[in-house]
């Protein structure tokens, strides 16, 4: 099913400087018994953000593309979780210095700061906002109104 989502003016970032790279293109699904998450890297100024560092068959599938992009996992500043299923969160610990953002709060080391993600600017080019949820994966039905997406500015190339 193809669904067209249009950004509202309030969803748009203030700048268009972020670069987005796809580290892992997701495949499979729980019904198939294997899942690999779609995992992205967003770079904007000093912010280095990994989006949904979830399930993969081997952690090298995340780490090798980062290495090719000259990104040290210890230098990742933020992790953005669309929701709390393991296929989106399982490898968050690969980034020990990152703040973790979900729809309710920011977590860093032993600090838990309540804050709604809606409308927040993570960087001038990254604004997370709610979305109606994934449309093609049944296991995500339970999180349709709890997830979020962000509006990046551009992809390399």
| pLDDT tens-digit readout, 69-103 | 999 999 999 999 887 888 888 999 999 999 999 87
In-domain check, residue 136: yes
Please give the biggest Cα pair distance in the chain.
42
Cβ(146)–Cβ(126) below 8 Å:
no
Cβ(122)–Cβ(150) below 8 Å:
yes
Alpha helices for 23-71 (secondary structure H): 60-68
Question: Could you tell me the pLDDT band of residue 9, with boundaries at 50, 70 and 90?
Answer: low
At residue 11, the 3 state secondary structure works out as helix
- State how many domains the chain has: 1
Owning domain of residue 99: 9-151
In-domain check, residue 119: yes
Question: What pLDDT score was predicted for residue 26?
Answer: 85
User: In whole angstroms, what is the distance from residue 50 CA to residue 88 CA?
Assistant: 11
In-domain check, residue 20: yes
Question: What pLDDT score was predicted for residue 37?
Answer: 85
In-domain check, residue 68: yes
In-domain check, residue 56: yes
51-77 pLDDT tens trace: 999 999 999 999 999 999 999 999 999
In-domain check, residue 33: yes
Can you give the CATH number for the domain in which 16 is found?
3.60.15.10
Can you tell me the mean pLDDT for 109-120? Answer: 83
In-domain check, residue 36: yes
In-domain check, residue 26: yes
- β-strand 39-44 against 99-101: which pairing, if any? unpaired
Query: pTM to 2 decimals?
Result: 0.76
């Amino acid at each position: 099913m193809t669904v067209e989502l249009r950004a509202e003016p309030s969803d748009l970032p203030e700048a268009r400087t972020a670069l987005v790279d796809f580290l892992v293109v997701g495949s499979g699904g729980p019904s198939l018994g294997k899942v690999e998450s779609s995992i992205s890297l967003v770079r904007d100024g000093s912010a280095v953000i990994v989006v949904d560092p979830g399930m993969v068959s081997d952690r090298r599938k995340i780490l090798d593309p980062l290495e090719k992009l000259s990104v040290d996992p210890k230098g990742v500043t933020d992790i953005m979780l669309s929701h709390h299923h393991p296929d989106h969160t399982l490898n968050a610990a690969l980034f020990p210095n990152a703040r973790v953002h979900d729809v309710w709060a920011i977590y860093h080391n032993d600090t838990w700061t309540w804050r709604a993600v809606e409308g927040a600017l993570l960087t001038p080019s990254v604004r997370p906002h709610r979305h109606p949820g994934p449309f093609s994966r049944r296991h995500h039905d339970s999180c349709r109104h709890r997830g979020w997406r962000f509006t990046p500015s551009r992809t390399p190339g």
